[in-house]
Structure 1
Amino acid sequence: MATSDQLLVVIDPVARRTDGESVRIAKDVLGAGAHTKVCLPEGPEEFARALARRGARRPVVVGDDRALLRAVSVLHRQRELAECALSVVPVGGVLSLARALGLPTGAVAAARAVLDGAERRLDLLVDDSDGVVLGALRIPPLSPGEVPAGATALSAEADRPFLRTCQSLVRTLVARPPRTAEPAVTGPARLRVEVDGATVVDLDQPVEAVSVRPGAPGLAEVVLQPVSTGVEAAALRVEGRSVTVSGADFRYRADAVVSGPVRTRTWTVREAAWRLTLPA
């Protein structure tokens, strides 16, 4: 064990609120095996400042998939991602990305992997707005009426006084017959998907879904599910370094985040662009 290792342990506020016991265990294990400086940011700005001021310390993020994605995004924007080996102790309710990357999800095992693990270089998808994707993205990610995780809570918190006023006003009005709910409009997406400049499907070929995930080193695997016409259609699979999707406004889920709507977006694979500490 490298007891001389210097760690900056950045504990995401969501992890502190949702699973304080796992956070405490992770701190104890890390503190017993290395020299640690613990940082408790209260928001994204403090989180970014902590990483920017890490000095020679190796950053360890304690948090869920969103915290991991935030750390990679910050280091990418600072153009320090390739030089910084990132370690993660997954804590929280959204850990599917952490599992997919091979990170242990138990506090003790994850903290020991930070101390005794090995660095692995991983590919990264970077889009034309400088956003990053660590795992997979999917189009379309939502059915009508769904809201990205966290958006409902944030909106309700921001508009609570307004909502109370509206609720009070509604109670003073004469009740009206309930409106019949309009059926949700669902249907296939009409998108143009290009891989390395070659069109794979065009606007006249509707698809049920498009997904992009890591493939062979330096390549992304693109899977398109055509609309079924009575018999189940076989998925189309293509690999390439660059994927462009365009068409009518669409949303997409990249890792744990829903983005859009956009009319066009290009994702490019950057081979071995970031380093993650995984169990040896």
Structure 2
Amino acid sequence: MATFATSDQLLVIIDPAARQTDGESVRIAKDVLSAGAAAKVCLPEGPEEFARALGRRGSRRPVVIGDGRALARTVALLHRRRELAGCALSVVPVGDGALAESLGVPRGTVAAARAVLDGAERRLDLLVDDSDGVVLGALGIPPAPVRAGAAPPVHVLLGRPWYRSLVRPLASRPLRLPAVPAPGPTRLRVEVDGETLVDLDQPVETVSVTPGCRGVAQVEVRPLSVGAAATPLLTSGRTVTVTGADFRYRADTAVSGPVRRRTWRVEEGAWGLVLPRRAPAGEAAAVADA
């Protein structure tokens, strides 16, 4: 686990949505980072400028101030450029922080910014699909339904918060979303490391896949239940292939599809995220005994 000195130079990229969502949190994060390290601040106006700023980082450590979509976009950009392995990424969540929190980033602007300055790089597994898409935290089939008049709710799969809205508009009315009906059962073939876990003759309610550790993904399939709840099918593996008729899926915060077949593979330790340093065993024991 690599550690960093506060003398390191930072490239702080502030996502446009973060500036519109919570300008005060953005200001606090920028002030903490600038006070603790030499920081160059970029204010891109859109995805293209965001990508250019990231590509011109040089030797500076990139720090993204933004929500889960900004984090996922950054990882995807670095992955497509084959620069992910050599880049230690930091994030200060502003807006929807559920994805970053599920990966170990502290809750709260100041705590997250301090982790950027004082933390250490931790290598994390990544799900990569056959279209070069990436999944950091959770993959869900079908996507969770959205209720009318509210932001999407928390959906926990295998102990991970999948999506939670923390958006706080500064000068606009609360976001009103159209009603999206809950998807019905679907027929999918799910194969893990070449072995069929469930086939097309068994309707399923949900399939979830999360990167685990040491190159293995956790897979959960919930068969359609009639009366008593069906027992979830749990397994793990390095590759997951799903086949079915025009299914959609949620990868972190984005919905993709429809597709008829998609394969995800685990890339072990594919990316580095700067997180709070773990206390040494002796120090942790001393704190517990205090």
Query: Equivalent residue for 1:53?
Result: 56
Determine the C-alpha separation between the residues in 2 that align with 1:193 and 1:22: 42
Runs of 4+ in 1 over 3 A off after TM superposition: 142-146
**Of 8, 12, 17, the match for 1:9:** 12
Identity of aligned residues (%): 73
Determine the C-alpha separation between the residues in 1 that align with 2:238 and 2:196: 14
Determine the C-alpha separation between the residues in 2 that align with 1:241 and 1:82: 19
Rate the CA distance shift 1:31–1:145 in 2: closer, same or farther, 3 A: closer
Q: CA RMSD in A?
A: 1.8
Rate the CA distance shift 1:143–1:38 in 2: closer, same or farther, 3 A: closer
Determine the C-alpha separation between the residues in 1 that align with 2:93 and 2:213: 26
The answer to whether structure 1 residue 278 and structure 2 residue 275 are counterparts is yes
Query: Equivalent residue for 2:121?
Result: 119
Rate the CA distance shift 1:130–1:279 in 2: closer, same or farther, 3 A: same
Q: Which stretches in structure 1 are left out of the alignment for 5+ residues?
A: 151-183
User: AA paired with 1:114?
Assistant: V
Q: Which stretches in structure 2 are left out of the alignment for 5+ residues?
A: 153-180, 278-290
Query: Equivalent residue for 1:172?
Result: none
Determine the C-alpha separation between the residues in 2 that align with 1:105 and 1:121: 20
Deviation at 1:96, TM superposition (A): 1.1
Query: Equivalent residue for 2:130?
Result: 128
Determine the C-alpha separation between the residues in 1 that align with 2:251 and 2:5: 35
User: AA paired with 1:264?
Assistant: R
Deviation at 1:116, TM superposition (A): 0.1
**Of 201, 204, 207, the match for 1:204:** 201
Rate the CA distance shift 1:144–1:262 in 2: closer, same or farther, 3 A: farther
- Kindly provide the CA deviation profile for residues 131-188 of structure 1, in whole angstroms up to 9, marking residues without a partner as x: 0000001101144998xx89xxxxxxxxxxxxxxxxxxxxxxxxxxxxxxxxx69531
Determine the C-alpha separation between the residues in 1 that align with 2:32 and 2:64: 14
Rate the CA distance shift 1:39–1:126 in 2: closer, same or farther, 3 A: same
Determine the C-alpha separation between the residues in 1 that align with 2:21 and 2:183: 35
- Kindly provide the CA deviation profile for residues 184-217 of structure 1, in whole angstroms up to 9, marking residues without a partner as x: 6953110010001111111001111100012242
The answer to whether structure 1 residue 188 and structure 2 residue 185 are counterparts is yes
User: AA paired with 2:20?
Assistant: R
Rate the CA distance shift 1:29–1:186 in 2: closer, same or farther, 3 A: closer
Rate the CA distance shift 1:5–1:260 in 2: closer, same or farther, 3 A: same
The answer to whether structure 1 residue 101 and structure 2 residue 103 are counterparts is yes
Query: Equivalent residue for 1:86?
Result: 89
The answer to whether structure 1 residue 220 and structure 2 residue 221 are counterparts is no
Report how many residues are paired.
Answer: 244
> TM-score, length-normalised on structure 1?
0.83
Rate the CA distance shift 1:31–1:216 in 2: closer, same or farther, 3 A: closer
User: AA paired with 2:142?
Assistant: P
Rg comparison, structure with higher value: 1
Query: Equivalent residue for 1:169?
Result: none
Query: Equivalent residue for 1:153?
Result: none
Determine the C-alpha separation between the residues in 1 that align with 2:87 and 2:183: 44
Secondary structure of 2:186 counterpart? coil
Greater helix proportion: 1
Determine the C-alpha separation between the residues in 2 that align with 1:11 and 1:137: 26
Query: Equivalent residue for 2:253?
Result: 256
Rate the CA distance shift 1:24–1:203 in 2: closer, same or farther, 3 A: same
The answer to whether structure 1 residue 247 and structure 2 residue 249 are counterparts is no
> TM-score, length-normalised on structure 2?
0.81
Determine the C-alpha separation between the residues in 2 that align with 1:265 and 1:15: 32
Query: Equivalent residue for 1:154?
Result: none
Secondary structure of 1:277 counterpart? strand
